[in-house]
Structure 1
Amino acid sequence: MKSTHPTPMLGLYIHIPFCKRKCDYCDFYSVAEDGALMDRYITALCAHLKETAPFAKHHVVDTVYVGGGTPTLLGAKRLVVVLKTVQKYYALSKDVEITIEANPDSAQDFRMLRSLRRAGCNRISLGMQSAHDSELEAVGRIHTMAQVTTAVEAIRKAKIKNLSLDLIYGLPNQTPDQWQQSLAAAVALKPQHLSCYGLKLEENTPLFNRRDTLTLPDEEVQAKLYLDTVSYLAAAGYGQYEISNFAQESHRSRHNMKYWTLGEYAGFGPSAHSDFGDVRYGYVRDIEGYIQGVLGDGDFVSETTHLTESDRDTEYLMLGLRTVEGIDGKVFERRFRRNFNCFLPFLTQCNEAGYVVEDQGRWYLTPQGFLVSNQIIGGLLDVLSEDKLRRADAKARGDYRIIP
C-alpha cells in the first residue's frame, strides 16, 4: 500500500568559497582563487555530496543553490561536475530550481553559461550591486556597469530565463537620485527577481575598519531609500515577498523560501549550514579543514543542535515576519500546541502604530514595519519567553488550570 504522507522536499546549498578579490563589505567565508586548490576542493565537495546522499534517500530535492564566493570562477567544467554529482546521487523534482551565483566580470562567457544551462542550471543570481562605477569602486567591487550589461546579454543568449539581480542601497556617498538610477537600470535589464539590501558594516571587514571616514546616509535617509524601493518596484511589477526580496509573479526564490518557512536544507562546503533531519549543523570556516575532514579523518563539523518541533516556535515568529505572509495564529497553535493570545496585546499596539496588519488571524508587517522588524520580532520573542516562564511556573506548582 502506498504511503499517504507527502514526500519531504529538500534544498541543497553548495558553497564555493573562491573570489578574485573580497569585497570591502563582505564577511562571508572566501579565499583567493587557486586552480590546484579548486580541483582539490571539488574532489572533496563531490565526495561529501555522495556521502550524504543516503541520508536524503526519502527526500526529493526541489532546489539547489550554488553560492559563494564566486561560483563562476570555477569555470564550466568544474561546476558541471558538481551539478552532475547532484543529479547522480539525489532524486530531483521535475521542476527543480538550480541557481548559480555569479559576478558580472565572471559571467561574460556565453559558452560557459550555455554549458551550465545544459547541465541543469535554470537560474542565475548576478551581483550587480549598483549602476554607478564610482559606487562599486568605493566598496571594492571589481566589475563595472558595462560588464553587468554584457553578462545579462550572455545569460539571455545562453537561454537561462530566470535572472535575479542583487543591489545595495546606502552605499558611501550615494544620493537618493543615484539609488533611483540604479533601480531603474536594473529594471531595464528585465530580471525576474531583485534582491535589494541595505548596506551593513560587518565587523572585521575593510569597510567597517574605515567607517569613520565614510559618508553614509543616516537612518531617516536609509528608511526613505527602502520605502521608495518598495513602491518603485511594485509599480514596475515586482511584488515584495520578503524584507529585501522582490519578484515577478511565480519567480520567488524557492530556495530562500525554505529558510523563511522552516523547510529542510542541507549545506555543503566550509561555513555552510544545514537544517536537516531535525538537526541544525554547520561546517568549519576553513577550506583546508573541510577538505581534510571529508577526505581524511579530521573533524569538520563546527556546531550541532538537535531540535524538536516545539523548539521551532521562536523561528516561526522570527522568520515568518520576514515575509509578506507573516505569521498565522491558528497555524502557530496547531503546530506548537501553544495559545497565540499572549501575543495579541503587543501585536495590537504594533497595528495601531501602523507597523502590522491583521487579516483573518494572519499578522504581517507593513513596509514601515519592515523598517523596525528587529524591534517587533524582539518584542514578540520577549512575550514568548515570558509566556514560557509563566507556563513552567504553573506546571511546577501543579496548577494546570492556567496553562492554555
Structure 2
Amino acid sequence: MAEKLGIYVHIPFCRSKCDYCDFYSLAGQESRMDDYQKALIAHIKETGPLTRGCQVDTVYFGGGTPSYFGEKRLRELLRTIAKRFDLSKDAEVTVECNPDSVDLKMLQSLRRAGVNRLSLGVQSANPCELSSLHRPHDFEQVKAAVQAARKAKFKNLSLDLIYGLPGQDLAGWKDTVEQVLAQEPEHLSCYGLKVEPGTLLDYRVSRGEKLPDDDAQADMYLWMVERLGEAGYRQYEISNFARAGFQSRHNLKYWMGRSYVGFGPGAHSDFGGRRYSFVRDLEKYISGVLGGGMVIDESELIPQRERGSEYLMLRLRTTRGIEEWEYRREFFMNFDPLEQKLEEYERQGWAERHDRRWNLTPKGFLVSNQLIGELLSIQEEATLEKTLRLKEGGPEQNGEN
C-alpha cells in the first residue's frame, strides 16, 4: 500500500496584515504574485518525482490569504499537483479564505477544480473586536461567504475563531460562539490569543493595552468546550472541534506524525525521515527556485528514537492521546515513568485513562505546555539512565532493546 502524503502550499499574500499575526505574510506585494506562481509551479514539478510510491490524500493551501491570490492561480497549482503527484480521488483539498475575498463565482470555480473544504478566518462576530485586530471584514461578510459556500456545494466548511481578544469578556465570547454556531459549519478551530513578539499587538500590549487574563481565558475555553460538545462538535485536538466525519485530515497529519511536504517561503516538510523548511523570504524563495539557488533554511534527519519526544508533544495535543504499547513498540522506551506521572495528572483532573491509552482533559489542555514539558523531562531522564546502563554493561529491562 502506498504511503499517504500531505501537501501544504503557502500563499504569503494578504490584503492587510492583522495585528496579532506572526505567520510569514505580506501586504502590498501583489506585483510579485505572478513570479511567485512561476516559482511554486517549478518547485512542485521538481519535487513530484521524488515522492514516487506515495499517494497524496490531503492538499492544504494556507497563508497569508490564499483566496486573495485568486482562483485562477489556485486552480493552476492544483492541476500541477494532480499531474506531478499521485493525487487520490478522495483527497481532502482545503483552501483558507477571508470572508471579504470570496464570492459565489470564485467558490464555484474552486469547487469544480477539486477543492472540497474551505477554512474561513472569522475570528469574532463583534465589530469592535474585529476592528481591534485590523481584520478586513465584518460578520455580515462572514454570513455572506458561508451562504456562497453552500450555494457552491461545499459540504465541509471550517470557521476559525480567537478568544481572549482586547476588550472581550465571557459574555462577548459566548455571543460570538452562538452566532457562529448559527452558521452550521462542519468544523471549528478556536484559538486562544497569543501575543507574539514583534507583532503590532505586542507593541500595543507593551504600551499598556490590556487583554483578558489567564483566568478569564480559561473560563472562555472551558465554556466553549462544553457548549460545542452540546452542539455536536466533538473536540479532537486542543483547539479543534468537528462534527462526526469532519476532522481535518490534513492537520491530523501534523499531530499524528505523518508525512507531508511543503512549498513556499517558511513552509515546513517532514518526509523521508527528514524535517526541513524553506527560507522565510519571498524574494529569496523566488530567485532560489527559478535561478537554481538554495532555498532550504533548515534541515535535519530525525532518528526514530528522537521521534519519541514528538510523539508525546503532538499526540497529547489530541484527544486520542498516547498508548503504552504503541510507545514501547515504536520507540523501544519504558512507559512506566510516564505512567506514574500521568496517574498524578489523573488525580488532579488533568488526564484520563481508557484501558492503556491516556489523554489530557480540557482542564489539562489549559496547562498542556507545563504537563508535556514535565513528561518530556521524565522521558529524557529515562533515556539517559538507559544509556548509562548500556555503557556500564547492565541488563536490559522491560523488554526494551
TM-score normalized by structure 2? 0.98
1:127 aligns with 2:159: no
Deviating beyond 3 angstroms after TM superposition, the runs of 4 or more aligned structure 1 residues are 33-36, 401-404
2-structure distance, mates of 1:395, 1:333: 18
Letter in 2 for 1:281: Y
Match of 1:192? 186
1:247 aligns with 2:242: yes
SS in 2 for 1:194: strand
2-structure distance, mates of 1:113, 1:138: 29
Match of 2:44? 49
How far apart are 1:359 and its partner, in Å?
A: 1.2
Letter in 2 for 1:128: V
Match of 1:359? 354
Match of 1:3? none
How far apart are 1:32 and its partner, in Å?
A: 2.1
- Whether the aligned pair in 2 keeps the contact of 1:241 and 1:323 (CA below 8 Å) is yes
1-structure distance, mates of 2:327, 2:260: 22
SS in 1 for 2:338: helix
Match of 1:399? 394
How far apart are 1:33 and its partner, in Å?
A: 4.3
1:73 aligns with 2:64: no
2-structure distance, mates of 1:365, 1:345: 15
2-structure distance, mates of 1:198, 1:293: 36
SS in 2 for 1:221: helix
1:210 aligns with 2:208: no
1-structure distance, mates of 2:374, 2:242: 29
2-structure distance, mates of 1:252, 1:178: 27
How far apart are 1:76 and its partner, in Å?
A: 1.4
1-structure distance, mates of 2:11, 2:361: 35
Match of 1:153? 147
How far apart are 1:101 and its partner, in Å?
A: 0.1
Partner deviation per Cα, 1:109-145 (whole Å, 9 max, x = no partner)? 2111111111110000000000011100001111111
Q: 1:260 aligns with which of 241, 244, 255?
A: 255
Letter in 1 for 2:124: S
2-structure distance, mates of 1:399, 1:216: 55
SS in 2 for 1:79: helix
2-structure distance, mates of 1:33, 1:243: 34
2-structure distance, mates of 1:294, 1:134: 42
Letter in 2 for 1:127: G
Indicate the percent of aligned positions where both proteins have the same amino acid.
Answer: 51
1:143 aligns with 2:146: no
Match of 1:371? 366
1:311 aligns with 2:306: yes
Letter in 2 for 1:349: E
1:88 aligns with 2:83: yes
- Whether the aligned pair in 2 keeps the contact of 1:271 and 1:282 (CA below 8 Å) is yes
1:174 aligns with 2:168: yes
SS in 2 for 1:168: strand
Letter in 1 for 2:108: R
1-structure distance, mates of 2:290, 2:268: 19
1:165 aligns with 2:159: yes
Figure out how many residues of one structure are paired with residues of the other and give that number. 398
How far apart are 1:402 and its partner, in Å?
A: 5.2
1:289 aligns with 2:287: no
Letter in 2 for 1:121: V
How well do the aligned residues superpose, as a CA RMSD in angstroms?
Answer: 1.0
How far apart are 1:401 and its partner, in Å?
A: 4.3
Aligned positions of 1:19-30 closer than 5 A: 19-30=14-25
How far apart are 1:36 and its partner, in Å?
A: 3.2
Aligned positions of 1:226-241 closer than 5 A: 226-241=221-236
- Whether the aligned pair in 1 keeps the contact of 2:13 and 2:30 (CA below 8 Å) is no
Letter in 2 for 1:67: G
Q: Go from structure 1 to structure 2 and tell me whether the alpha carbon gap of 1:142 and 1:35 turns closer, same or farther (over 3 Å shift).
A: closer
2-structure distance, mates of 1:205, 1:176: 25
Q: 1:201 aligns with which of 183, 190, 195?
A: 195
How far apart are 1:308 and its partner, in Å?
A: 2.1
Aligned positions of 1:27-46 closer than 5 A: 27-46=22-41
Partner deviation per Cα, 1:1-38 (whole Å, 9 max, x = no partner)? xxxxx210000000000001110000100112444310
Match of 1:342? 337
Q: Bigger CA drift: 120-129 or 72-81? A: 72-81
- Whether the aligned pair in 2 keeps the contact of 1:33 and 1:73 (CA below 8 Å) is no
TM-score normalized by structure 1? 0.97
Partner deviation per Cα, 1:192-247 (whole Å, 9 max, x = no partner)? 00000000000000000110432211111111100000000000010000000000
Q: Which runs of 5+ in 1 are unaligned?
A: 1-5
1-structure distance, mates of 2:378, 2:285: 40
Q: Bigger CA drift: 361-370 or 341-350? A: 341-350
SS in 2 for 1:309: coil
How far apart are 1:298 and its partner, in Å?
A: 2.0
